[in-house]
Amino acid sequence: MSSGIVNLNTNPCKMCMPMGAVSAFYGVARCMCLLHGSQGCSTYIRRHMATHYNEPVDIASSSLTEEGTVFGGEKNLIKGLDNLIELYRPEVIGVAATCLAETIGEEVPAVIRRYHESRPECAVKIITVASAGYSGTQYEGWFRALHALVSQTAVAAARHDGLNVITGPISPADTRALKNLLRGLGLSFTLLPDISDNLDGGHAATYERLPSGGTPLAEIVRMAGARATLELASFPPEGYSPGRWLEEKHNVPLIRCHMPLGLRDTDAFLKALEKLGAVIPEELRQERARCLDAMIDAHKYNAMGRAAVYGEPDLVYGLVRLCCENGIIPVVAATGSDCPPLKAALEEEIRPAAENAHVERVSVLNFADFDDIGAAAEANGANLLIGSSDGRRLAHKYNIPLVRCAFPVHDHVGGQRIRTLGYSGALSLLDSFANALISRRESVYRAELFERHCKTSGLSASKSELSLQKKTVRHPCFSASACHTAARLHLPVAPDCNISCNYCVRAFDCPNESRPGATAKVLSPEEALARFMSVKAAMPNLAVVGIAGPGDALANFSAVAETLRLVREMDSEITFCLSTNGLLLPLYAAQLVSLSVSHVTVTINAVDPAIGALIYRHITYMGVKYEGEVGAAILMANQLAGLKLLLEAGVVCKVNIVLVKGVNDGHVEEVARRAGMLGASLANVMQMIPVRGSVFEDMPLISNAEHMALRKRCEIHIPQMYHCRQCRADAVGLLDEDRSCLLQTDEASSRGRDAARMETPVRVAVASRSGVVVDQHFGYADQFYIYESDGVSTRLVEMRRTPGGRGGCGRCGGDKAVVAPRPGRLAGALEAVADCKAVVAMRIGLSPARQLADKGIAVFSTYENIDKAVRAAAERLV
């Protein structure tokens, strides 16, 4: 498995047994199916088949419930049979027992016996199949159903000169082609099953819901007297070959052929028929000649083919042989079934073909899922996928064209018309293989050749990259040259922090102190905008607006986002920069990008939880407090993941590392290395400032010489910032001359947007559960939507529960919605609407209507849209 996982099937290349059983029963005349089990099985299988065949697919279920599961499902099954017979009048019913029925030990044959005993008049033939989903795939389910059909109906009969022809799972169109071919040979035969009409019907003036095409029961009964059985399947599951059963029980000789797919196997099939007396008509010989001609015409294209073939055993075998005889090398051949004989047969077929084409890597996979198939297809260089439409995700992921030629096909039309068998089927398949290869070549060869032969030195940087570069050059922190010329403004709008670092205290402020976390005042977004406007007017060299606390920018995201939005409305050019501890970066990275934040600094002090735990006391993540290594691990994972997201989105990132002697000084280089690996453009190794009152206030500091040496070591991994001044959360101006304390101006609050009051609107109570339409009786209402309206506009004020009501709205599931109003409930409803001028309800009793009228409350009955109803009521009142 590509991901190395063995206990999990990742994207199944198979379905379950009942799917196969139902499909086979669809080839029997006037037959219906009932799945004994949960309701879901039948619904899922119907959906899967209906979207492939584009035909109505009706499958009944015994709809087992908890009770049936515990006490046995006999009652459900019997009722299900009765109902199915009444609705469809079938001649045959296939009862397939699902996982559930099999596991709880349902004795289905015994139930059916009792069913017939209690209903002697019932002439419906009921066939039972044990088809637990865990005992095999749809392939095994198909044969189990056929085996059950034959063994439960065929009775010893006089020999006749008919021939039994039994197929594995094939398409309706292939079934029809096979039938026509046999007819053309002048043979008398019974084809089992025959899904050609039931799963590929025409459009008629009247619709018959009982599938009437297919093999008649009377013919299946006579199969025991046939002169031979031709079974066109090479890998039927042990013990479930209907042909073998007929041979063993009724001495009907069994002739086994490969599915007639491709030139060789069609030849062999016709030869077998010739032996049985068939006369091959000239027309068929011409068809063969045309097939051969087409094989020759396309052989050079097909020789490019490296196919990954997947699906049911017979189909995979047939397709692989078709590929091999046309020079397409099946570099992957896989089945989702567990079928060891297939693996051996495939290897025998593919090995010489691969050797002939000098292809070394081929994979034959048994019991495979699409994860395996995809990995092998990529490793072996497949350029063509052949199988069901389930391979489309691989096609997309690995950019390999897919030829859809097996059940299920859910994303294209024509699943019922797939042709693979006989000379004409081979021809149509070959055309699609060759055309897929040609199209692929056509779509990539220009770019491929350009890449290979005409590589230039790279295109010029795009416009946005240039402006980003310019922004970086003008950013005082990201560019040492700009730090003397370009000014920045830190807007202190982020008071809260979500982690607790041992070196940090944000509790007090001295305006003369310069260190991160300090600010004179926390601003609201509106105040921040006002400060920006005044600073901008005073400093023409203002290049950057930054958010640097005093807490964590992202822990106050709504204020930060609002601030940036307001500033951006006023200035489309200014660079947005932000610093964060990174805990919430994965959550907000995308939004930062959309807010046009181009530069971000993440403080990462450790990438090892054990070291991190020494620095961080605790973190608070999504409402939960984590301490020690757990907290440090979450923080670290989010910092790195967030950094990655930002860098992928093209944001310029700096990593700050606070140096704590004796704690992380030996680890700083590792942090720098990781930051460099991820693609950060700058690292800033900062000396810790021992703040009074912090846990680390008495920690020793490292010397400047040690500090510089450490920076040099880190520089191997990532460029270093040497000009940091560890500035305040409300810093203003150049790095070297903070002017924040000069700025304590009268920043008046710009808040005070006042609501324009409506002129005496009326209050209207609406009985509604949905909130969309008026849908409640007044007396039954659990809640009222309280609106105000002046007759023109409406406004939802609140939703009010009815005192004494049930509380909450309609629950999904069990509860009955319609219950008689409890005494006191009506009083509650009256109380709930006491302050309103009108009540709107779907219906209202006479007595409450009178009581409301007495209180001067008008009553309106409607089931309209809630908004319209309120407006109409208000209009009438005003």
Partner 1 sequence: MYTHVLEERKNSIKTSDRDAAPIRCETASVSGAVSQRACVYCGARVVLNPITDAFHIVHGPIGCASYTWDIRGSLSSGSELYRNSFSTDLQEKDVVFGGAKKLTSAIDEVMNVYAPKLIFVYATCIAGVIGDDVEAVCREAERKYGSRVIPVKAPGFSGNKSTGYRMACDALMQLLLPHREQAAADGVNILGDYNLAGEMWIIKNYMKEIGVPVISTFTGDASYDRLLGAPSARLNVVQCAGSMIYLAERMEMEFGIPWIKASFFGIEDTTTAIRQIADLTGSPETRRKAEAFTRRESERATALTAPYHKSLAGKKAAIFVGGGFKAISLVRQFREMGMETVLVGTQTGKADEYEVLGKLVSPGTVILDDANPAELEKFMREKGADILVGGVKERPLAYKLGIAFCDHNHERKHALAGYEGVENFAREVNLSVNSPVWHYARG
Residues 651-690 that bind partner 1 (CB under 8 A): none
Kindly state the smallest distance separating residue 433's Cβ from partner 1, in Å: 26
Burial class, 653, CB count within 10 angstroms (exposed 0-12 / middle 13-18 / buried 19+): buried
Phi, psi of 225 (to 5 degrees): -100, 5
Residues 665 and 658: their CA atoms lie apart, in Å, by 9
Partnered with residue 737 across adjacent β-strands are: 734
Between 12 and 184, CB nearer to partner 1: 12
Binding mask 607-626 for partner 1 (x = CB under 8 A): ---------------xxx--
Burial class, 269, CB count within 10 angstroms (exposed 0-12 / middle 13-18 / buried 19+): buried
Q: Among residues 233, 435, 238, which one has the least CA distance to residue 316?
A: 233
Between 525 and 676, CB nearer to partner 1: 525
Residues 95 and 129: their CA atoms lie apart, in Å, by 6
Please report, as residue ranges, which positions from 166 to 225 form the binding site for partner 1 (by CB under 8 A). Answer: 201, 203, 205, 207, 209
Please report, as residue ranges, which positions from 756 to 785 form the binding site for partner 1 (by CB under 8 A). Answer: 756, 769-773, 775-776
The angle subtended at Cα 428 by Cα 359 and Cα 411, nearest 5°, is 90
Cβ neighbour number for residue 650 with a 10 Å cutoff: 11
Per DSSP, the three-state class of 657 is strand
Give me the sign of the Cα torsion angle 335, 337, 338, 340: negative
Please report, as residue ranges, which positions from 48 to 87 form the binding site for partner 1 (by CB under 8 A). Answer: 48, 50-51, 53-66, 68-69, 76-77, 79-84, 86-87
| Unique residue bearing structure tokens 């004994």 | 36
Stretch that binds partner 1, among 502-510, 573-581, 658-666, 802-810 (CB under 8 A): 802-810
Residues 176 and 158: their CA atoms lie apart, in Å, by 29
The answer to the question of residue 47 lying near partner 1 (CB under 8 A) is yes
Between 75 and 712, CB nearer to partner 1: 75
The answer to the question of residue 23 lying near partner 1 (CB under 8 A) is no
Phi, psi of 110 (to 5 degrees): -65, -40
> What Cα–Cα distance (Å) separates residue 44 from each residue in 40, 57, 130, 201, 209?
6, 11, 19, 22, 20
The answer to the question of residue 18 lying near partner 1 (CB under 8 A) is yes
Question: Token pair for residue 753?
Answer: 């947007």
Question: Token pair for residue 184?
Answer: 């053309």
Between 3 and 469, CB nearer to partner 1: 3
The answer to the question of residue 100 lying near partner 1 (CB under 8 A) is yes
Kindly state the smallest distance separating residue 456's Cβ from partner 1, in Å: 33
Size of the site for partner 1 (CB under 8 A): 119
Give me the sign of the Cα torsion angle 376, 378, 383, 389: positive
Between 96 and 278, CB nearer to partner 1: 96
Stretch that binds partner 1, among 7-15, 219-227, 518-526, 851-859 (CB under 8 A): 7-15
> What Cα–Cα distance (Å) separates residue 302 from each residue in 328, 330, 440, 848?
5, 11, 12, 83
Between 40 and 340, CB nearer to partner 1: 40
Stretch that binds partner 1, among 107-115, 249-257, 571-579, 860-868 (CB under 8 A): 860-868
| Unique residue bearing structure tokens 């379950």 | 16
Residues 736 and 724: their CA atoms lie apart, in Å, by 10
Per DSSP, the three-state class of 558 is helix
Q: Which of 117, 120, 134, 455 binds partner 1 (CB under 8 A)?
A: 134
Please report, as residue ranges, which positions from 699 to 758 form the binding site for partner 1 (by CB under 8 A). Answer: 753-756
Between 102 and 231, CB nearer to partner 1: 102
The answer to the question of residue 135 lying near partner 1 (CB under 8 A) is yes
According to DSSP, residue 286 is labeled: H
Q: Which of 42, 128, 720, 789 binds partner 1 (CB under 8 A)?
A: 42
The answer to the question of residue 473 lying near partner 1 (CB under 8 A) is no
Q: Which of 71, 89, 352, 473 binds partner 1 (CB under 8 A)?
A: 89
The answer to the question of residue 596 lying near partner 1 (CB under 8 A) is no
Kindly state the smallest distance separating residue 37's Cβ from partner 1, in Å: 7
Please report, as residue ranges, which positions from 439 to 468 form the binding site for partner 1 (by CB under 8 A). Answer: none
Kindly state the smallest distance separating residue 205's Cβ from partner 1, in Å: 7
Residues 663 and 501: their CA atoms lie apart, in Å, by 13
Residues 788 and 583: their CA atoms lie apart, in Å, by 44
The answer to the question of residue 125 lying near partner 1 (CB under 8 A) is no
Binding mask 807-836 for partner 1 (x = CB under 8 A): -xxxxxxx-xxx------------------
Distance, first Cα to last Cα, the chain: 74
Binding mask 836-855 for partner 1 (x = CB under 8 A): ------x-------------
Cβ neighbour number for residue 299 with a 10 Å cutoff: 14
Kindly state the smallest distance separating residue 247's Cβ from partner 1, in Å: 27
Please report, as residue ranges, which positions from 513 to 552 form the binding site for partner 1 (by CB under 8 A). Answer: none
Phi, psi of 662 (to 5 degrees): 80, -5
Kindly state the smallest distance separating residue 51's Cβ from partner 1, in Å: 5
Residues 660 and 802: their CA atoms lie apart, in Å, by 61
The answer to the question of residue 283 lying near partner 1 (CB under 8 A) is no
Please report, as residue ranges, which positions from 404 to 423 form the binding site for partner 1 (by CB under 8 A). Answer: 410
Kindly state the smallest distance separating residue 338's Cβ from partner 1, in Å: 8
Stretch that binds partner 1, among 121-129, 190-198, 289-297, 790-798 (CB under 8 A): 790-798
